[in-house]
Structure 1
Amino acid sequence: KIDLSQKEVSQSVSAGADGLAAEEELADILDACELYCFEPETAKVFENAIERLFYSDSFRIGNATLPQSRVRAKLRLLDGMVLRTAEDKLHANLEHNVKNSTAYTMAVIFTCIAESESDLLLDPYLNSLRSP
């Protein structure tokens, strides 16, 4: 669950010196996301959030401010399944009025990337296979 009061997004966005390489990297990330599998409106929301995460100089979530290089490294782990999880979490929000929906979507996507890694570590079935 995301603490809405602790989330902040850097509004500074820049293409960087190697703009063409960055564009290609972003295109690769978006391709891996399989946005064509989502409703067009949802795909646009995700594309916008991913693009903003990619080009932000930094991303603040909780008490951590991550530099652009770390954010981009995490974005390389994105795929359609992670975005499906993010979509489910966004639709599950029935209690909070979100003031900045783009920033909230960015935070949910980023959190889902991290959770996809830890979910495998905590999976009861996979852990039972490791036990003697």
Structure 2
Amino acid sequence: MVELESAQLNVIFHALGDVTRRGMLSELSGGEKTVGQLAEPFDMSLAAASKHIKVLEKAGLIRREVRWRTRVCHLNPGPLASAHAWLREYERFWTGRLDALEQLLREEDAHNPASREGDDP
């Protein structure tokens, strides 16, 4: 199960590793868009946009449907939750480290009265 999750996270982070794809996801957070609408802000061809969209689809971050001759894309936020959960572990790590640093600095200030605000050196 862990290997499957790891493989899926690799695909998600690969998709998120490109500024154009992150921009496309941002555009989709406002609602569905056609492939042409997704390509427009990036001044790219439909073929280039389609390649980015395929990477996002492979990661499960978007889904595409065909309406007549138009392809419409929708955001699928579920996989972002997996990535966020993974990142949250590192948030806890850094929060703990910063809390320890803050405590150390407070202790240092308590033992060194000259470093207190308003005191003359």
Q: TM-score range by the shorter chain?
A: under 0.3
Higher relative contact order (CA 8 A, sep 6+): 1
> Which structure is larger by alpha-carbon Rg, 1 or 2?
2
With normalisation by structure 2, the TM-score equals 0.27
